[in-house]
Amino acid sequence: MLRRHDMLLVADQVICGFGRLGRRFGSQPFGIAPDLITVAKRLTSGYAPLAACLVSATIVDALRDASAPFSHGYTYSGHPVAAAAALANLSIFAREGLVERADRTGQRLQRELRARFAGHPRLRDVRGVGLIAALEPRDPEDAKRWHALLLADGVITRAVAGAVALSPPLTLAEDELDELVAALQRALEKLA
């Protein structure tokens, strides 16, 4: 529909880019081809502040054909330290196969969460893709209590919009995934 009406699509992939959903960009598993993609966090894995806006060939061509020059140089644009951190980080991604690893781990995480928690009487919904998930209690206040119990057990989650949100690192190991699911179960039992 967007193409039919000559409209651009901007995809914010600050959280779901760089492997979080098992592909390089979060729009890929859904067959979405954005015109612009915003990225940040995992571009340098947080070692240096850097963000970017990736643009499609259509936009690049339009900028090249424009009568006025494209003004894109700002004080900290392309800062050499941040750019070097990004290049080193992306090299590690490739060398260690982090996107492929996150794909396998994310698929297993989603299977485990649905197998253990879908249909639980205290939960309204279990949802997610790859290494992003949310477990939504029937009582929104339970999300805050569940989050607090998890934190006390050493598991960092977020209580967001009445759900417990998970976003484990791409390097999540199999035994860590098992411990995460076990901690979710222990805390949910204590909540009951």
> Does the pTM exceed 0.85?
yes
Rounded Cα distance, 158 and 165, in Å = 5
Q: Are 110 and 129 in contact (CB under 8 A)?
A: yes
Q: Are 129 and 107 in contact (CB under 8 A)?
A: no
The arithmetic mean of pLDDT across residues 105-116, rounded, is: 98
DSSP 8-class letter at 18: T
The confidence score (pLDDT) of residue 37 equals 96
Q: Are 128 and 165 in contact (CB under 8 A)?
A: no
DSSP 8-class letter at 15: T
Q: Tell me: pLDDT of 38 over 80.
A: yes
> pLDDT class for 76, splitting at 50, 70, 90?
confident
* Pairing mode of beta strands 36-39, 10-12: parallel
Within the chain, all domains assigned CATH 3.90.1150.10 are found at 98-191
The arithmetic mean of pLDDT across residues 81-106, rounded, is: 96
Q: Which CATH superfamily is domain 98-191 in?
A: Aspartate Aminotransferase, domain 1 (3.90.1150.10)
The confidence score (pLDDT) of residue 72 equals 74
The arithmetic mean of pLDDT across residues 152-161, rounded, is: 96
Q: Are 150 and 183 in contact (CB under 8 A)?
A: yes
Note the pLDDT tens digit of each residue in 169-186: 999 999 999 999 999 999
Residue given tokens 């003004």 in the structure block: 71
Rounded Cα distance, 63 and 3, in Å = 19
Beta strand extents in the chain (DSSP E only):
10-12, 36-39, 52-55, 123-129, 132-137, 158-160, 163-166
What does the angle CA 55 – CA 102 – CA 188 come to, to the nearest 5 degrees?
Answer: 120
* Pairing mode of beta strands 36-39, 52-55: antiparallel
Q: Tell me: pLDDT of 98 over 90.
A: yes
